[in-house]
Structure 1
Amino acid sequence: MIRKALLVLISIFLLQSCNVGTSGTWKNESIEKDKKEEIKLLNDKLFKAIMSNDVKGVRALLVDKLIEKDGDKIDKLINDISTTYKSESYRVLDEYNVENSSTNISNTLLSGASKDNDYVINYLALNKDMYTSLFIPNGHSNEILFTIIYGKYDDEWKINIFRVGQYSLLKQTAPDYYKLAQESYKKASLIDAVNYSSLAKQCLRPADENFKYKKENEINDFHNKLMNEVNSKFSLPLTFENIESKPKLCSIYPQVTAEGYFPMICYYSNINLKDTTALKIENNKVKTEVNKLFTGLYKDKKAVLYRIYNEMPDGKKIIDHYGIVDKIKN
């Protein structure tokens, strides 16, 4: 998985507000058939070039100003995706065609108004004929979203805006995780709520400022509320005073694997990492304390993961650790 944030900014111009000058907007099946087919051929070329790490092929589809501004970023992005997100095909999430009576105006696209996953696309229209295509490579549970915005230059379509970002984790989007966080909070499972909310934040802006979920403000406000509450209750590092070896809790965060989401608990221990027998004995005591402190953490899980350190992690360097998977019998 392209780590946490693949929200790579590759666009030319800043957003503006208002939709004055737009003469018509069409979505999905309402778009003119010939135009849909024309864009599909371009998307097929783009997708094939990205998956084969064909930088030259991708650049051939971009407007010159985009290459001038972000050429190096584009090269790196293509390399990252071609090695990490290999796929034979893609699916279209949505596509939009906008015809404007003038240029250099703001276009705003609404996916809908009533569903949890509804979103708004906003961009500066450099051309009278604009086409937005959102598509997702198939075959991955952690999905990325391509947001490709074309402009018509005379008789040729060129890409003005090219963005790629995390759309889902384990096929769950930001609003999906927001809902899970709310449910966990109602059950008084604060750590689960924080973890789900953190996953929501990771998927919240798959196209940076060009893409915004209609519930984004709600999601951010709820996340801030949870973080304030957890920080007021638990000050890290937290020493497990009931354990004679006095291990210290460093962090708890959501770990997404091919098997699913698991809470990851990291703590510092005075026991040498090579003494695995003593570490396991201590870990059994840590599990008991974790269960007391964090309501619901073990509920409805296949496992809880532990990382044990002999040095307090600072998030800046990689340090040795010993891992324990605590499988839960249902």
Structure 2
Amino acid sequence: MTTPARPTASVEAIERFTELADYVIPFTIRAVGELGVADQLRDGSKTIEELAVATNSHSPSLYRALLALASKGIFTEVEPGRFGLTPMAELLRSDTMLSLRDGYRLLSADIQAWARFDYSLRTGTAAFDLVHEQGYWDYLATHSAYSRRFDRAMQTFTKLEARAIIAAYPWTGVETVVDIGGGNGAFLSFLLRTYRTMRGTLFDQPHVVSGADAVLAAARVEDRCTVVAGSAFESIPAGAQVYTMKRVLYDFDNDEAVTILRNVRAAMTDDSRFLLCDPVLEPGDRSDISTTYGRIYDLLMLAMVSGHARSVDELAKLFSEAGLQLTRVVPTHVFPIVEARPV
């Protein structure tokens, strides 16, 4: 008779594991964000009845949700049945510079794909394609409301990423920038707003850049930014000093990536620079913010588009095939900036 293995996990390990493996709290955060509860508390605490009326919610159910979140430091029950904001709950407000609400919404198509992430681990291909019988980018192109929510989510994270990227790299003296796959212009807007003499070109697919005018106007940079619709698989606007690509290349396999990079090289002058702002994979148990951030996005790409992050050596090889040379890697608080120049 086999003797059962003696348990080796500590109480602390069990507590930490159950916290990380839980999906109830992440979904509750998103649902409460959808309701706009944090916005109702911007001027001070309110009773659960007041919150339920303001958010068109079921009072006893909302109370249960806020109690659970309060256990995690998101909201606080200041007195029985009355809730207020905490620093983490402030992030769910929609009216603050560092709001994360739109970045953590209930995106049903994504959630359905994650429910079959085991398929991605078995096959190396996107669970999204299996579940929806359609690729992620095709889905966004044919579901306009979903595409707008996706753009808002990307804009939310871009606010954090842009600050880190702009602070880490020497942009002074750069006069012209092309942002390839720049979405609705959120990153380029931050860059142009920081450097008042810089001019930019926003380049992405037609259905993506269709929403850029409002973003550029809100940042008051529309007079220094040209919007160009097109495909990076065909050609890229030529002649800029700097070409940027943030969280785009890891969407594609190696052959597709080389095609895009060759088009980047064709657009560059001999003095141009290419800045890839992508997660970069490194081995080991590192758990710093940049490494963790990159690894999470790597899995997101696997589940949604069969994409993947790459190591520095892998990127250097792709660059070489496209006529580019990796010149340096600049660390940031999110993911590194990988710089390349024409060979």
Give TM-score, length-normalised by structure 1: 0.30
TM (norm. structure 2) is 0.29
Q: Return the structure number with greater strand share.
A: 1
Q: Whose Rg is larger?
A: 1
Query: Higher helix proportion, which one?
Result: 2
